[in-house]
Chain A
């Protein structure tokens, strides 16, 4: 029983901490983000498993995490407000040559991040070629090219 309770607590804690840390955390994995992911998984592993190294415990923990994920996805579909609370909303940070400063600042996104997404996704390398840049709910930046750049 305690391993299931631990898994639920860890799942909800991680859900909350990543939601509160903003959209961009771990969205585009840099070398440091990868290291951070490894450190987080290493630190949480002890809390999940404790001293119980049995196979049954491992299977129960995995089953709990997967079941919670299924349950929350079902609930998110049924209750749009919960979906919005847990996943947030897409946020436009650049539109028709205008930088939306508050969004950029609050989500800690730089012009360089937008240009990197533009190069990666659309092969564009100038801000003028971008009509719209959006930070999606997943934290990834997507780009809508300006008409002349298409």
Chain B
């Protein structure tokens, strides 16, 4: 290899190295930005992920961003009639199947299956509202639309994004 060819080759190497370093530095910035978003909860489990809906006596707390195959919870405070001692809550069946309900606290008295929903009946002891916690483990990835309802208290809809 003559002198000029050698010089050209080392210039090419230097140029490549410079570009590699530039790409690396930008990649670090992207990585740190992703981690910042992760700490904030953009990928689940953080302040940005927590969401709450309050409407006509209902309070639904859930994770806006959740992860596939990883436990998440849905806490529902449901208004109940003072007269009766049971409350009924139904969960859209498509949502229930996609989210795999692992545990319900307190345990329901009965669970009945309808074509489009699962109906849970709870003992309330005549309290004005009841707090129910559903432990879920998402089985599907992407946007999930939750739909809950209760006889006499209307319905609540919410949306969750499930990461792989």
Contact = CB atoms under 8 A, between A and B. Distances in A.
Nearest to B69: A53
Given A56-B164, A67-B32, A1 B38 contact: yes
Nearest to A7: B35
Nearest to B162: A54
Given A1-B41, A3-B45, A70-B28, A56 B35 contact: no
Interface string A49-74: 00111111100100110110010000
Contact of B35 (A51, A53, A60): A60
A54 B68 contact: yes
A10 interface: no
Contacts of B34: 60, 63
Interface in B26-67: 28, 31-32, 34-35, 38-41, 43-47, 67
Per DSSP, chain A at the interface is helix
Given A66-B31, A70-B28, A60 B70 contact: no
Given A54-B164, A57-B70, A1 B45 contact: yes
Interface of A: 1-5, 51-57, 60, 63-64, 66-67, 70
Interface of B: 28, 31-32, 34-35, 38-41, 43-47, 67-71, 163-164
B70 A64 contact: no
A4 B39 contact: yes
A85 to B, nearest CB: 24
B32 to A, nearest CB: 6
A53 B70 contact: yes
Contacts of B32: 67
A60 B28 contact: no
Given A60-B35, A64-B35, A66-B31, A1 B40 contact: yes
Contact of A4 (B28, B38, B67, B71): B38
Contacts of B163: 54-56
A1 B39 contact: yes
Contacts of A3: 38, 45
B28 A52 contact: no
B38 A60 contact: yes
Given A63-B35, A67-B32, A70-B28, A56 B69 contact: no
B31 A56 contact: no
Contacts of A57: 67, 70
Contact of A63 (B31, B46, B68, B71): B31
B67 A52 contact: yes
Contacts of A66: 31
B70 A51 contact: yes
Which of A1, A55, A63, A67 has most B Cβ within 10 Å? Answer: A1
